[in-house]
Structure 1
Amino acid sequence: MHSSFGLDSLATVSDARSRSITAENPDGEVGAGGQAASDLGPGRKGRPCLSDVPSGATETLAEIDGPGSIDHIWFTLPDRTDAGEHVLRDVVVRMYWDGEDDPSVEVPIGDFFCNGHARRTTVNSMPVVAAPHGGLNCYWPMPFRESARITIENQHPGPLPALFYQIDYSLVDELSDDTAYFHAQWRRENPTTTGEDYTIVDGIEGQGHYAGTYLAWTALEGDWWGEGEFKAYIDGDDELPTICGTGAEDYVGGAWCFDAGDGPETYSTPFLGYPLYDDGSDGHGGPPKHGLYRWHVPDPIRFKEDLRVTIQQIGHDGRSLFERSDDIASVAYWYQKEPHAAFPALPAPEKRRPR
């Protein structure tokens, strides 16, 4: 398989076969796209999306026989309906590789694309791009040997008026023995426990590498919130981790509270960013909200046996550090050889709603 991030691969001819699944070609069949008719006639944008997906319904968007690799996924959907404002937390994306019963990806659709807090945010990174106005893209390579299945579940209280999607993939003759599988898991602690590190992911067993973190952080106390250290416990680490950072803004490549003198400054770069800052002054009475990401693409955290990843909640009041409690949701992204350990149960929609 070629690298999904390197332009150098474009100059190499490949025997891989390009395919794409949309509502216009739901099976990705050869020469079968765009058949549905509209008022303009046959093949003139007759079925660009799924319409009126019922509340409680699970739609299978892709079932693909391997070997192959998903190269790009694009979604767009309303971020609110007449039934509520939290569509991006209420709709859940799941992905299954090689016929597995338990998903390797289980994440609310907004958080998967770094649009946490159920709100649209522009993101310009290498593996994840959220383009105006609500175009959700990912370029995480997702190889599979036998099969791939992608579903969405509508846990919103009302129907989804429209769900647009495109899943671009390549079919190949074989994958190398060292190919690992993509995984992503969502967690939330609301509120966090004072003095205890927040767990981004735990229970990863096997061999692989950690590829990235997205944090949707709601500050429930005053003063600076991001002094906590990122930690990665690798291959049997117990009380102390092998990798320990220096602060939340440092982990995503920033510094000094993101403050240029007149308040936090947002940014979005290929591998790290702070794309969302909401000071809570929008009149709705909500606390300050932050969105942060760090992609370990050039610097993956490799493990052979197990991995646990955490971050602390420590603040600074201008004079000294203090333990604090906030509302944190996260997505962990990693690659490993299957099988993977079972994920914790995904919280119910009402437990996922942002403050």
Structure 2
Amino acid sequence: MLTLEPLTRADVGTITGPGYVAKLWLTFPGWFWAHWEPERPVDQRVLKTLIVNVYLDGAEQPQISAPVGDLFGIGLCRMASFAANAFGMSSGGFYLNLPMPFRSSLRIEVRNVDPDFATDVFCNVLYQRVDELPDDVPSLHGFFHTGRQSGSEPLLLAELTGSGRYLGCTLSCQGERPNYLSYLEAPEHVFIDDNWTAPQIVGTGLEDYFLGGWYFREGPFIGPSHGVPVKDTLDSSVAMYRMHDLDAIRFDRRFRMTFESPWDADRLAPFAHSSVAFFFLDHPQAAPSIPLLDELLCWYRTVDSDHQSIP
């Protein structure tokens, strides 16, 4: 266990290689009432302001960098229990099962970007050392994006150069206006390698990409590789995930994926979003930088652990 004071960071640990991490598990208080410290503040936004960074093979910048909520499946500054194959939130615990190969070292860091709020972090890392890794073993990456938009511009999930395969993502969205889900009218557009003007893959709707339909008409559902752990229509909030297996998208030189609505701008309304896109890449690359606090806390509304509105 380690304590993170406001605006501090600390290493969970460094592993020397070669080897791979098989499971990352952690938990922390602050998003719920701690009965053993009844006067301790409660703020669901710790799910956004606690950052996990993973550094491969001595890199100065992390290859995985994301808030805990987004990394483990729900970026809405709220908790909902679900268990998928790759990641999940197990009634207070957070886990990531995607393998993280490393050749010389792997370092895990946690960072608290809140200027006022402290928290404790408990972490367990299951790893295996090996004699050597084959030359073609790729590196796991997790790229975070977030922001607010008017509703009509493309939602960028990820853009990068290099060779590898796209594994899937977590994506959370919230409309500025209550009872608004029309941001789901935005099919995926995937651009691969040399053709940067016309997408090679175009879907039929944002909820369709996550293998649902009709704005997830029947509400939340949990599957091993895709699901919707949160759908709150009145709050205009949806948290989604989808991981690819045999349908992983491979690329040799570059990759770009957006969600783009075909509707006219006057039919759309502002919304906020945050996501983590997962990749296996042929060599370690720096993840996008975590934005400043105001942009990081992009949601129009958050709720506490008792589902009461926080101004």
Q: Does 1:279 align with 2:233?
A: yes
- Given the two structures, how large is their TM-score scaled by the length of structure 1? 0.77
* Shift in alpha-carbon separation, 1:149–1:188, aligned structure 2, 3 A: same
Equivalent residue number for residue 123 of structure 1 = 82
Match of 2:174 among 218, 236, 239: 218
Whichever residue aligns with residue 299 of structure 1, its letter is D
Match of 2:154 among 163, 182, 197: 197
SS of residue matched to 2:182:
coil
Match of 1:65 among 2, 6, 16: 16
Equivalent residue number for residue 270 of structure 2 = 325
Checking the alignment, whether the CA contact within 8 Å between 2:171 and 2:239 is kept in structure 1 is: yes
Q: Does 1:348 align with 2:283?
A: no
Equivalent residue number for residue 184 of structure 1 = 142
SS of residue matched to 2:273:
strand
Percent of residue pairs bearing the same amino acid type: 28
* Partner Cα separation in structure 2 for residue 70 and residue 216 of structure 1: 26
User: Which consecutive unaligned segments of at least 5 residues does structure 2 have?
Assistant: 32-39, 301-311
* Partner Cα separation in structure 2 for residue 245 and residue 179 of structure 1: 30
Deviation at 1:337, TM superposition (A): 1.3
Deviations 1:137-175 (A, max 9, x none): 110000001110110001123453421110000000011
Deviating 4+ runs (over 6 angstroms): none
Corresponding pairs, count: 289
Whichever residue aligns with residue 212 of structure 2, its letter is G
SS of residue matched to 1:273:
strand
Deviation at 1:259, TM superposition (A): 1.3
Checking the alignment, whether the CA contact within 8 Å between 2:30 and 2:43 is kept in structure 1 is: no
Structure scoring higher RCO (CA < 8 A, sep ≥ 6) equals 2
Equivalent residue number for residue 173 of structure 1 = 131
Equivalent residue number for residue 3 of structure 1 = none
SS of residue matched to 1:225:
helix
Equivalent residue number for residue 92 of structure 1 = 51
Equivalent residue number for residue 238 of structure 1 = 196
- Given the two structures, how large is their TM-score scaled by the length of structure 2? 0.87
Match of 1:266 among 205, 220, 223: 220
* Partner Cα separation in structure 2 for residue 278 and residue 195 of structure 1: 22
* Shift in alpha-carbon separation, 1:197–1:159, aligned structure 2, 3 A: closer
Whichever residue aligns with residue 107 of structure 1, its letter is A
RMSD (Å) for aligned C-alpha atoms:
2.1
* Partner Cα separation in structure 1 for residue 142 and residue 197 of structure 2: 25
User: Which consecutive unaligned segments of at least 5 residues does structure 1 have?
Assistant: 1-48, 281-286
Deviations 1:222-270 (A, max 9, x none): 363312111211112222111111111111111122114xxxx110101
